[in-house]
Amino acid sequence: MKLDSIEARRYIARKLKQRKALDKIFHGIVFLATMVGVVFLAVLLTKILRDGLGNLNWNFLTSFPSRFPSKAGILTALVGSVWIISLTILIALPIGVGTAIYLEEYANKRSKFYNLLVVNIANLAGVPAIVYGMLGLMVFVRLLQFGNSILSGAFTLSLLILPVIIVASQEAIKAVPSSLREASFALGASKWQTVGRVVLPYAIPGILTGAILAISRAMGEAAPLIMVGGAGYVGFLPDSPMDVFSALPLQIYNWTSRPQTEFQNVAAAGIIVLLALLLTLNAIAVFIRNKYSYRMD
Amino acid sequence: MKTLKQRRKRNETWIKYLLSALATISVLTTLGIIYSLFSETFVFFQHVSIVEFFTSLQWSPSLKPQHFGVWPLVVGTAMIAVGSAAVAIPLGLGSAIYLSEYAKKKTRKVIKPILEVLAGIPSVVYGFFALTFITPILRDLIPSTKIFNAASASIAVGIMIIPLVASLSEDAMNAVPDSMRQGAYALGSTRFEVATKVVVPAALSGIGSAFVLAISRAIGETMIVAIAAGQSPILTFNPLNSIQTMTGFMVNVALGDIEYGSIEYQTVFAVGALLFLLTFSLNLIARYIVKKNRETYA
């Protein structure tokens, strides 16, 4: 068959049509695959709003938990979450940012210690959340005698989100142009002066964005808090970090796993509160990123 | 009297020590995890034979007669891992191909953040959805489905890890140099051919490692399976049955009143140690795949 014979041209034309059709079909398939996630998200949000909105009112936000679905409120869980998250920020942020400064500004990048730290952080990021709960149970609840307290929960969640904060802070510090550091050194500033007054101010929007995303992860975690003894039903508000606690995801879990279907609607209302808080946090992160992220050229 | 210069130098040294001490906390965390898990596991295996743990097919640590065969939990976990991988791998890879090879820049800018929201939703929320939405649908379709079942939890876990698979695979595909795509287009390839014969093969190690990481994530996932998959540590391979995973067992025991030092207390650590070893190995494999096959395009 000669290449320019009629049969050959027909063959090529047919083949080309097939290949183009295949391309279109594949385009459709991968588009649908992408849409599954998007549609799932839409259905999930609709379902939760439809189930939960009816229960969501001022009473729900200001009442203690109850055996009766109509009286059940989310106050203790909300206050518990605020306590835990505030403490987690106080613990995790200095450690995470300090580690990132050490790694990026001080450590000798060819040293074994640096290598150990980097590999270790990468490994920690892959450890399941519940395993951090075991660590918390052993070290904070038992060994340090914090008991089933807010403090144990906050320390556990801090260690859980530490890798995220470290990596995000490292990225933010890496993005600081070295010309700024050199200018600072040229003016006679010491290393710490340079870090504190030049590098950190420039890197802080990036660090905060990463930290907020890490915090929103901590806010939704239930498993590690269950391991350190967080409860799904606490009838009073905590006065100190040594008190027993509930938290939003624990309360939601508690309501979801009750047999009465009314409680599932209460759970949905709780989920709306949790998602609203997460949405607010993320909006703040996006705002900070857009408002303060500038590049020097 | 010390000069300003000397004092400054001393302060600088202190700061360096302080920062390196903070950095050491992450190493201590790892040591703490290993110590916590394995010290109790060690005690556990003084009461329970390690042979029984790994060979017996019955798991009933808190019921008499006690049995400590971990296989029901391992099989339950494996069912969730396989089921969620069956959901997340095709959908995640498909999304990655769409976003990196087909979607217009504008579409990509809209869809990618939406997919990332999926990764930010807490797992209790997925658990709630699995139990109150996915399970009823499954029971309508196949009436023999139990209220708590592995299939429903697998679907929810799978959807949750789509963004992980998609974003890691997309990163790998983005790392394939454009010149390779353009070369293929210049030879007359369609986008389908470029995607499946050039980009995906070139990005295969990154995609493979994304799959392994996704499975590792599914194995460690806790709340979805605790809510939707059940609490029955019975050996079964039917995804419509109620099961219990390793993580599900750990949560279940922790919710009850466990007595410190009791055998149940130690059981949780033994199962936790196994879980840690499994996920840790998978993470190492994922990193090894990338490292081994890294191609550098100059």
Mean pLDDT calculated for residue range A257-268: 88
Q: Give B242's contacts in chain A (Cβ within 8 Å).
A: none
The pLDDT score that the predictor gives to residue B58 is 86
The pLDDT score that the predictor gives to residue B214 is 95
Q: Give B193's contacts in chain A (Cβ within 8 Å).
A: 19, 23
Comparison of pLDDT for A3 and A63, the residue scoring more: A63
Bridge partners of B67, per DSSP, are B60
Chain B stretch 36-95, residues whose beta carbon is closer than 8 A to a beta carbon of chain A: 36-37, 39-40, 90-91, 93-95
Judge if B35 and B169 occupy the same domain: no
Query: Given A163, A229, A271, which is nearest B125 (Cβ)?
Result: A271
In percent, the amount of chain A with pLDDT more than 70 equals: 97
Give the tens place of pLDDT for each residue, B207-246: 999 999 999 999 999 999 999 998 888 888 999 999 999 9
- Can you read off the two tokens belonging to residue B3? 């000069």
Question: A249 vs B18: CB contact, 8 Å cut-off?
Answer: no
Cβ-count burial B18-40 (b if 16+ within 10 Å, e if not) = ebbebbbbbeebbebbeebbbeb
Comparison of pLDDT for B280 and A9, the residue scoring more: B280
Q: What ipTM does the predicted assembly reach? A: 0.92
What chain B residue is nearest to A262 in terms of C-alpha separation?
Answer: B132
Bridge partners of B68, per DSSP, are B59
Report the interhelical angle of A6-52 vs A261-292 (nearest 10°): 110
- Can you read off the two tokens belonging to residue A96? 């995470």
pLDDT tops 60 at residue B298: no
Residue A196: band (very low, low, confident or very high) from pLDDT cuts 50, 70, 90: very high
Chain A stretch 157-186, residues whose beta carbon is closer than 8 A to a beta carbon of chain B: 159, 162-163, 166
pLDDT tops 90 at residue A117: yes
What chain B residue is nearest to A142 in terms of C-alpha separation?
Answer: B260
Q: Is residue B61 in some structural domain? A: no
Mean pLDDT calculated for residue range B61-69: 82
pLDDT tops 70 at residue A95: yes
Q: Is residue B62 in some structural domain? A: no
Judge if B145 and B253 occupy the same domain: yes
A77 within 8 A of A247, measured Cβ to Cβ: yes
Residue A81: band (very low, low, confident or very high) from pLDDT cuts 50, 70, 90: very high
pLDDT tops 80 at residue A35: yes
What chain B residue is nearest to A276 in terms of C-alpha separation?
Answer: B121
Closest CA to B233 of B50, B54, B62, B44: B62
Judge if B21 and B79 occupy the same domain: no
A50-64, A103-117, A233-247 — which one is most confidently predicted on average?
A103-117
B220 within 8 A of B77, measured Cβ to Cβ: no
Q: Which of A216-225, A226-235, B37-46, B205-214 has the lowest mean pLDDT?
A: A226-235
Judged by a CB distance cut-off of 8 A, whether residue B168 touches chain A is: no
Q: Give A213's contacts in chain B (Cβ within 8 Å).
A: 120
Judge if B78 and B42 occupy the same domain: no
Mean pLDDT estimate for chain B = 91
The pLDDT score that the predictor gives to residue A135 is 95
Helix spans in B142-245 (H): 150-174, 178-186, 191-193, 200-202, 204-220, 223-228
Closest CA to B231 of B241, B221, B217, B239: B241
Judge if B30 and B162 occupy the same domain: no
> A256, A265, A272, A274: best mutation site toward chain B, by most B Cβ within 10 Å?
A256
The pLDDT score that the predictor gives to residue A48 is 95
Mean pLDDT calculated for residue range B112-127: 93
Report the interhelical angle of B263-293 vs B246-255 (nearest 10°): 150
> What is d(CA B246, CA B75) in angstroms, rounded to the nearest whole number?
9
Question: Exposed, middle or buried, B257 (CB in 10 Å: 0-12/13-18/19+)?
Answer: exposed
The pLDDT score that the predictor gives to residue B49 is 87
The pLDDT score that the predictor gives to residue A280 is 93
**CATH number, residue B241:** 1.10.3720.10
Q: Is residue B185 in some structural domain? A: yes
Give the tens place of pLDDT for each residue, A163-178: 999 999 999 999 999 9
Q: How many domains does chain B have?
A: 2
Q: Give A274's contacts in chain B (Cβ within 8 Å).
A: 122, 125
Judge if B76 and B37 occupy the same domain: no
Nearest Cα of chain A lies from the Cα of B250 at a distance, in angstroms, of: 8
Residues 6+ apart with CB under 8 A from A212: A281, A282, A284, A285, A288
Chain A stretch 31-90, residues whose beta carbon is closer than 8 A to a beta carbon of chain B: 31-34, 36-38, 40-41, 43-44, 47-48, 51
B202 within 8 A of B295, measured Cβ to Cβ: yes
In percent, the amount of chain B with pLDDT more than 90 equals: 73
Mean pLDDT calculated for residue range A109-119: 93
Nearest Cα of chain A lies from the Cα of B274 at a distance, in angstroms, of: 10
CATH-assigned architecture of domain A61-292 = Orthogonal Bundle (1.10)
Judge if B132 and B270 occupy the same domain: yes
Domain that holds residue B82: 67-293
Residue A291: band (very low, low, confident or very high) from pLDDT cuts 50, 70, 90: confident
pLDDT tops 70 at residue B297: no
Judge if B39 and B104 occupy the same domain: no
B132 within 8 A of B227, measured Cβ to Cβ: no
Q: Is residue B239 in some structural domain? A: yes
Q: Give B27's contacts in chain A (Cβ within 8 Å).
A: 116-117, 120
What chain A residue is nearest to B104 in terms of C-alpha separation?
Answer: A31
Judge if B249 and B134 occupy the same domain: yes
Distances (CA, A) of A135 to A155, B171, B217, B298: 10, 33, 19, 45
Q: Is residue B298 in some structural domain? A: no
In percent, the amount of chain B with pLDDT more than 70 equals: 98
The pLDDT score that the predictor gives to residue A297 is 41
> What is d(CA A34, CA B96) in angstroms, rounded to the nearest whole number?
8
Q: Is residue B129 in some structural domain? A: yes
Question: B121 vs A275: CB contact, 8 Å cut-off?
Answer: yes
Question: What predicted TM-score, i.e. pTM, was given to this entire model?
Answer: 0.92
